[in-house]
Amino acid sequence: QVQLVESGGGLVQPGGSLRLSCAASRSTFGFSAMGWYRQAPGKGRELVAAITSAGNTNYANSVKGRFTVSRDNAKNMGYLQMNSLRPEDTAVYYCNARGLSGQDYWGQGTQVTVSS
């Protein structure tokens, strides 16, 4: 069983930055993609950003130019750098990893709150 543990969430003022980290319990070489989703109160879970094993990235329109997704397979880590944060970015952020057979793994989530 794969475990994903997120860290780096917290309270930040509008315009600020946070870096989320996702630590995997096994080699991330075996993940065809790693990504970040978020869920705001009263809303469904939405894709924020994802990166494939080839390094191709995909972003939600609302975060393009502000967020950067990356992965470090040598460290079994995934990252989400979030800049120019807005109140509407407030949500619980979840790390996701997709195995080579299509199975999805999820972290427990980390809260990001953007407020003055």
Task: Name the token pair of 113.
Answer: 């709150």
Which residues sit opposite 78 in a β-bridge? 22, 71
pLDDT in tens, 21-78: 999 999 888 899 999 999 999 999 999 999 999 999 999 999 999 999 999 999 999 9
- 103: confidence class by pLDDT, cuts 50, 70, 90: very high
Q: Which residues of 93-114 are buried (b: 16+ CB within 10 A; e: fewer)?
A: bbbbbbeeeeeebebebbebeb
3 state SS for 20-69: EEEEECCCHHHEEEEEEEEECCCCCCEEEEEEECCCCEEECHHHCCCEEE
Q: What is the pLDDT of residue 30?
A: 85
Average pLDDT of the chain to the nearest whole number? 96
Q: What is the pLDDT of residue 28?
A: 87
